[in-house]
A and B are shown apart, each in its own frame.
Chain A
Amino acid sequence: MPRKPVKLAWGIRREGRSLWTRNAVRGVSVRGERRKTDSRIEWRSWDPTRSKVAAALLRTAKDPSQLLPETGATVLYLGASYGSTCSHIHDQVCGAGNHHGGQVVAVEISPRAMRELSELAKLRPGLVPVLGDARQPSQVTPYVRNQADWMHQDLSIADQAETFVRMADVFLRPGGTGLLSLKAASERTSDGDDDSRFAKAAKILRESDLEVIERINLKGLEEQHVVFLVRKTVNSG
Chain B
Amino acid sequence: MAAMSDPDWPDLEDEEQEMLSEAAAILAKRGVADAAGDLDRRLDMLSSAAIELRASWTTSEARCIEWAGLFLAEADLDGQRQEIPIAVADAESIDSAAAVLGVAAPAHQPGSTEWLALNAHATGVVALTERLGVAEAATRELARQYVPTLSMLIGPLGAARLVVLAGGRERLARMPSGSLQVLGASGAMAAHRRGAPPPKHSPVLFSLPQISRAPRWVRGKIARYMAGKCSIAVRVDHFDGEPWGEEKIAEINQQCVNIRERFPKPPRR
Contact = CB atoms under 8 A, between A and B. Distances in A.
A115 interface: yes
B5 A170 contact: yes
A206 B129 CA distance: 60
Interface in B1-20: 1-7, 9, 11-12, 17, 20
Interface residues of B, number: 22
B27 A131 contact: yes
A111 B1 contact: no
A197 interface: no
Contacts, number: 69
B175 to A, nearest CB: 14
A128 interface: yes
Interface stretch (A14-22, A53-61, A143-151, A220-228): A143-151
Contacts of B27: 130-131
B28 A145 contact: no
Nearest to A173: B7
A118 B25 contact: yes
B104 interface: no
Nearest to B17: A145
Contact of A115 (B3, B24, B32): B32
Interface stretch (A1-9, A41-49, A134-142, A207-215): A134-142
Given A111-B31, A144-B5, A122 B25 contact: yes
A72 interface: no
A142 B24 CA distance: 9
B117 interface: no
A144 B20 CA distance: 10
Interface residues of A, number: 28
A117 B32 CA distance: 11
Contacts of B35: 111-112
B9 A146 contact: yes
A68 interface: no
B29 A118 contact: yes
A145 B12 contact: yes
A138 B9 contact: no
29 contacts: A111-B32, A114-B28, A114-B31, A114-B32, A115-B32, A117-B28, A118-B28, A118-B32, A121-B25, A121-B28, A128-B24, A128-B25, A131-B27, A131-B28, A131-B31, A132-B31, A137-B2, A137-B5, A141-B3, A141-B4, A143-B24, A144-B4, A145-B11, A145-B12, A145-B20, A146-B5, A146-B7, A146-B9, A171-B5
Interface of B: 1-7, 9, 11-12, 17, 20-21, 24-25, 27-29, 31-32, 34-35
